[in-house]
Structure 1
Amino acid sequence: MSSSCCSPDGHCSTGTATEATEGVATVYDVSGMTCGHCKATLTREIGALDGVLAVDVDLETGRVTVTTAAEPDDALIAKAVDEAGYELTGRAA
């Protein structure tokens, strides 16, 4: 009998679905964000980095939550934020 990732009832699982939704969530303080365009720009620029699984921008608090597959590279994220025209002032306390 060969092993399969699919169960007899037709449900398939590679074991990666759970891993993909998990990760390391890191909250950063970012200055200069004021509108939906800012949110879209940062979501796109940070989301394009290797290892980034999700980006959540909160304009009211000035915080950006970045979920990564492993421990994030703060310098790389700061560079992406800077190149987008904003300033990462550090990790949120």
Structure 2
Amino acid sequence: MEIQGQKMNLNEKSNMTSAQMIQEMKNMDNVIQKLRKELQEALTKQHEAMGHAVRLAKKNRHLEDELRDIDRLALAIDKECNAQVKENTEKVSATQ
């Protein structure tokens, strides 16, 4: 077991006084509290990252929908232009 950077073997532990054991328990409690805080911070960051990912996914779907709409519009305009060119070509051919 490591306490404040020092390793203690079982023999040293058995020779500990009550005050030393209490201090070791306090040290362990401090470590536990620190780890709990780090875990909570990590969970908070994970939650924020997941929320950000969800927002980005929604935005991505919206942009994909917009792109599909633009593609449909471009195809419709292209079709209309081709029809107009064909009509104009037929008119020119008919007048010749």
Normalising by structure 1, we get a TM-score of 0.21
Taking CA–CA contacts closer than 8 Å with sequence separation of 6 or more, which of the two structures ends up with the larger relative contact order?
1
Normalising by structure 2, we get a TM-score of 0.20
Rg larger in structure: 2
Greater share of helix residues, 1 or 2? 2
